[in-house]
Amino acid sequence: MPQKLKQDIAIGPTIRRLRTEAGLTQEQVVSKLQLKGLSTSRSIYSQIEVGTYNIRISELTALKEIFGVSYADFFADLP
């Protein structure tokens, strides 16, 4: 029987907040990610924000640059 994995801590809601604070739509963020050479689709980005897709380090690094924030900002909302 497959073992059910425990849900990890999601930073998706924080990413959504940082995106809206930057005044960007999901489509704009995806375009900027693609310009940086990442193959992130709109569907995958949406899943990142709702916490159902584990973000890759390369995506986090690119989002840091796109939003103009520090790495600490991604973890500011964690309990």
Name the band, by pLDDT with cuts 50, 70 and 90, for residue 5: low
Q: Domains of the chain (ranges plus CATH)?
A: 12-73 (1.10.260.40)
Tens of pLDDT, residue by residue over 10-21, are 899 999 999 999
What DSSP string runs through 1-70? -PPPPPPPPP-HHHHHHHHHHTT--HHHHHHHHHHTT----HHHHHHHHHTSSPPPHHHHHHHHHHHT--
pLDDT (0 to 100) of residue 1: 53
What's this model's pTM, rounded to 2 decimal places? Answer: 0.86
pLDDT in tens, 58-68: 999 999 999 99
